[in-house]
Structure 1
Amino acid sequence: MTHAVHMKSSDYERLSEVLKALAHPVRLEIIYKLLKKEPLNVSQLQQHLDIPQSNVSQQLGKLKLLKVVTSSRKGLEVFYRVEDEQAKQVMKILDL
């Protein structure tokens, strides 16, 4: 069964940005971890991913720039969460 999808051009552009963001293995894993255990800070993500903290920060910066994740400050720590519904839908489709 097929479903007709009616999207505006801007919706396709946004979806393309989300897919680009998820096309990197570290960013994909960050999104996965945030969806399972959100919110997490950089140190917590670094422990889960077992990669250098600078790499985690760099990839989070890209995800934040693309508005896939948002951040909130609690004291000295910054916590990240997935807010983008299209990113959540893509992860669900991928069964991740």
Structure 2
Amino acid sequence: MEMDLKDHEVTAEILKALGHPVRLCITKGLIEKGRCNVSYMEECLEVSQSGVSQHLSKLKNAGIVKGYRTGNEIYYEVISKPAQQIINALYGED
């Protein structure tokens, strides 16, 4: 069976984006809890607001999360099915 590396590019990009403990934790937390804002993540992760925002930016650029504005707040959620599948495979969840 011949393998085309292009078939694995999306997965590799998602794995790169998830390859930091904070981004992994953000993604797993958003899958478990649903939409959250930066303030909530900052408290849960004990990471500065700017730190959380930088990690969210990388996750957004990778197409893993999307932000939704509600008034003055932006709530984030995981929109990538492959990222959800990876997290579920890593943590044994459905």
**Superposed pair shares fold, TM > 0.5:** yes
TM-score in terms of structure 1 length = 0.87
Q: In the alignment, is residue 63 of structure 1 matched against residue 67 of structure 2?
A: no
Q: In the alignment, is residue 41 of structure 1 matched against residue 56 of structure 2?
A: no
Amino acid at match of 1:24: H
Paired residue secondary structure (1:79): strand
Amino acid at match of 1:58: Q
Instruction: Give the aligned partner of residue 12 of structure 2.
Output: 16
Distance 1:8 1:80, change over 3 A: farther
Q: Superposition RMSD on alpha carbons, in Å?
A: 1.9
- Deviations, residues 26-45 of structure 1 (Å, cap 9, x unaligned): 10000011011110010011
TM-score in terms of structure 2 length = 0.89
How many residue pairs get matched? Answer: 92
Q: In the alignment, is residue 79 of structure 1 matched against residue 64 of structure 2?
A: no
Q: Give the gaps of 5 or more residues in structure 1.
A: none
Q: Give the gaps of 5 or more residues in structure 2.
A: none
Instruction: Give the aligned partner of residue 21 of structure 2.
Output: 25
Percent identical pairs in the alignment equals 42
Instruction: Give the aligned partner of residue 51 of structure 1.
Output: 47
